[in-house]
Amino acid sequence: MKNNNFLKTSLIFIMSMGLLTTVLYAQEKKHEIKNRTTGNKEIEGEVTWIGKNKIAITYNKDQATGTEYEILIPYDIANLTFEHRNNMGEIKVGDTVRVQYEEETLEYDDGNKNEKIKAKVISFVRPSTQKPKAQTLSQEEEEALPLKGIK
């Protein structure tokens, strides 16, 4: 009997805490959008990474100072147009591409900003000019490799 009362009391306490938490979150003020701006931008650079729904582009490389900038642009393959290539599979890391993307900026009444970008057109400009470097081993490293022949 004593154990049963403890379970009932614990259950009531847990349910009360859940109800209180729900009420407090419901009263939290939602910030209203004060200003929404959209615009189209374009960037040209070298592809450094291609993911399932994002592409990374390195642009504005300065050889003298060694600085460069990289942008990660999400895309929706169903709403993406390709120029000079048929699909994303034909674009490789190291290729130069031009990406036209839509940028949407949301300004809230509390002063916060939220920027969203989405690629619309990917234009192939030129293939990669870099050849993969073959890994070379020193004489000592080569001799240290344990090679076994066919028995």
Task: Identify whether residues 76 and 105 lie together within a single domain.
Answer: yes
**Number of domains observed in the structure of the chain:** 2
The answer to whether the pTM exceeds 0.85 is no
pLDDT in tens, 53-105: 999 999 988 888 888 999 999 999 999 999 999 999 999 999 999 999 999 99
Helix (H) or strand (E) holding 50: strand 33-50
The residue ranking higher by pLDDT, 116 or 1, is 116
Instruction: Decide if 147 is inside a domain.
Output: no
Task: Identify whether residues 48 and 83 lie together within a single domain.
Answer: yes
Q: What is the pLDDT of residue 9?
A: 82
The domain of 88 spans 33-126
Task: Identify whether residues 98 and 39 lie together within a single domain.
Answer: yes
Query: How do beta strands 81-83 and 96-108 pair?
Result: unpaired
74 close to 118: Cβ distance less than 8 angstroms: yes
Task: Identify whether residues 23 and 41 lie together within a single domain.
Answer: no
